[in-house]
Amino acid sequence: MTNKRGEETRQLIKKSACSLFAGKGFKQVTMKDICEAANLSRGGLYCHYGSTREIFREIINNFMIQQGDSFSEKIEHQLSAKEILNEVLEKYKNEMLDSQSSLSLALYEYFSIDNTETGNELCAQYTASFNAWQTLLEYGIKNGEFHHVDIKSVFDLIIFSYQGVRMYSKIMPIDEDIPQRIIDQIKKIIVKE
């Protein structure tokens, strides 16, 4: 492969840029910052990417692909709804506290600047996430493990409180108990007993 070298550099750039975006948000990261972080010359960086937007776009594409809460697999593996719920909420809890690696702020900035092509990826992600949760909740309700909750409402509550905390955790010291309290409350709403 002739482009082995190039691909490595691209990875390096993305990795370096990602740290910067997580740390400073989108707008406050410059091409110069990225050059320096990736230990690359100005022109060298421009060989691969023409702007911070371009780099960021690639990062979040990779990111969103690997994301995606898909519960169906687990359901097929005969896990109980409650177990799956516990697992995902645990994951959420950890993410809420992991302000370091969170791209939340950068994502908000990125999508808020120049709203033209925007929003679609986010909408898509929102929808995908909703579908996954719907599957899980219906499964739990059918099983008799979960209450007869309104799926949409519960989903919104989960997703937006999660996002809200992620956001805040970037800008103020968040009491470590907050994520725990939130997921406990959510469980209380959903799970019988």
Q: What residues make contact with its own copies under the rule CB under 8 A?
A: 24-25, 27-28, 105, 107-109, 111-113, 115, 118-119, 122-123, 126, 150, 152-154, 156-157, 159-165, 167-168, 170-173, 177-178, 181-182, 184-186, 188-189
Name the nearest CA neighbour of 192 among 137, 133, 132, 129.
137
The rounded distance, in Å, linking the Cα atoms of 63 and 101 is 12
Judged by CB, which is closer to DNA: 5, or 148?
5
**Choice from 25, 26, 52, 136 touching DNA (CB under 7 A):** 52
Cβ-proximal residues to 18 (8 Å cutoff; 6+ apart), any chain: 59, 103
What's the token pair of residue 159?
């997703």
- Contact status, residue 4 vs residue 88, Cβ threshold 8 Å: no
Judged by CB, which is closer to its own copies: 80, or 163?
163
Binding partner at 41 among its own copies, DNA, none, C-beta below 5 to 8 Å by kind: DNA
- Contact status, residue 56 vs residue 105, Cβ threshold 8 Å: no
Is residue 46 part of the contact set for DNA (CB under 7 A)? yes
Q: How far is CA 47 from CA 5, 51, 111, in A?
A: 13, 11, 25
Q: Report the SS3 class of residue 145.
A: coil
At which residue do the structure tokens 């099983």 appear?
A: 143
Interaction residues for DNA, span 162-181 (CB under 7 A):
none
Binding partner at 161 among its own copies, DNA, none, C-beta below 5 to 8 Å by kind: its own copies
Is residue 120 part of the contact set for DNA (CB under 7 A)? no
Q: How far apart are CB 115 and its own copies at their closest, in Å?
A: 8
User: What is the binding site for DNA (CB under 7 A)?
Assistant: 2-3, 5-6, 9, 30-32, 40-44, 46-48, 50-52
